[in-house]
Amino acid sequence: MLNRLVSRNRWAAITLLATLVGVLSLARYKERNSPLPRMSPISAVVSVQGDVARPGVYLIQTPAPQIEEAILAAGGIKGGGRPDAMKPIESRRIRSGQQIRVVVQPSGGIHILVEEMDAASRLAIGQKLDVNSATEEELALVPSMRENMAKAIVYNRRERPWKDIAELEEIPGVGPRTVEKWHEYLEIRGADNHVHGLPGYQSPVSEMRNSRIESSVDNL
């Protein structure tokens, strides 16, 4: 079961990476062959899902990308919904590796949830996984990571969290070369590096929760 899941996720990661590389190559080609001013550097790769016109992964090319820009890149909220009360929410900043999920309630209320993209997508855009929070399935996406190694990483951290990637050499079958490769895909994330939840907004609609949600903004 784990192997089938990993296989599907790896194909998803490969597809996403190929798409991103293609878009970046095209953008650079146009930049080199166009008399127009240079484009601003890409500052965020985000996923926009839910009740938007064009769900997908988008490159946001602004110095300080905001939720609003990501939603507009996806064609806006279905039905053109954009109540004034959402403006302070949309202005909140986002970063690479986040997913914005828009949910339009039958009552007309709109929920905007900010969560992490799945592990395969984050690896595909060059982000690292935290060895102290990634699941076995997520760790199994890392090159040279066998299923028994992923299990050992999760099992051993129950007694004490990993403090350095080099400590992974304690796992049977893991040597210095393997750990050196893993430095490209794994990290030890300190408390200050965790994503903090955005302030919530009071809503008559019950709050939507998801175990993967890093930030949530409810309105309305």
Domain boundaries, the chain: 2-120+193-218, 134-188
- Do residues 45 and 96 make contact, with C-beta atoms less than 8 angstroms apart? yes
What pLDDT is recorded for position 124? 92
Model confidence pLDDT, tens digit, residues 121-135: 999 999 999 999 999
Where residue 197 falls among pLDDT bands split at 50, 70, 90?
A: very low
Model's pTM, two decimal places? 0.64
CA-to-CA distance for 113 and 100, rounded, in angstroms?
Answer: 6
Give a three-class secondary structure readout of the chain.
CHHHHHHHHHHHHHHHHHHHHHHHHHHHHHHHCCCCCCCCCCCEEEEEEECECCCEEEEECCCCCEHHHHHHHCCCEHHHCCCHHHHHHHCCECCCCEEEEEEECCCCCEEEEEEECCHHHHHHCCCCEECCCCCHHHHCCCCCCCHHHHHHHHHHCCCCCCCCHHHHHHCCCCCHHHHHHHCCCEECCCHHHCCCCCCCCCCCCCCCCCCCEEEEEECC
pLDDT for res 107: 85
Of the two residues 13 and 202, the one the predictor is more confident about is 13
pLDDT, position 27: 47
Read off the pLDDT of each residue in 177-195 and give the average, rounded to a whole number.
79
Percent of the chain with pLDDT over 70: 63
Q: How far is CA 24 from CA 3, 31, 127, in A?
A: 31, 10, 17
- Record: fold of 134-188: DNA polymerase; domain 1 (1.10.150)
> How confident is the model over 19-61, as pLDDT tens digits?
554 555 454 444 445 444 444 455 899 999 999 999 999 999 8
Closest CA to 150 of 1, 2, 40, 5: 2
Give the pLDDT score at 204: 26
pLDDT, tens digit (0-9, with 9 covering 90-100), for 62-80? 888 999 999 999 999 988 7
pLDDT for the residue 196: 30
Whole-number average pLDDT of the chain = 76
Distance of alpha carbon 197 from alpha carbon 199, whole angstroms: 6
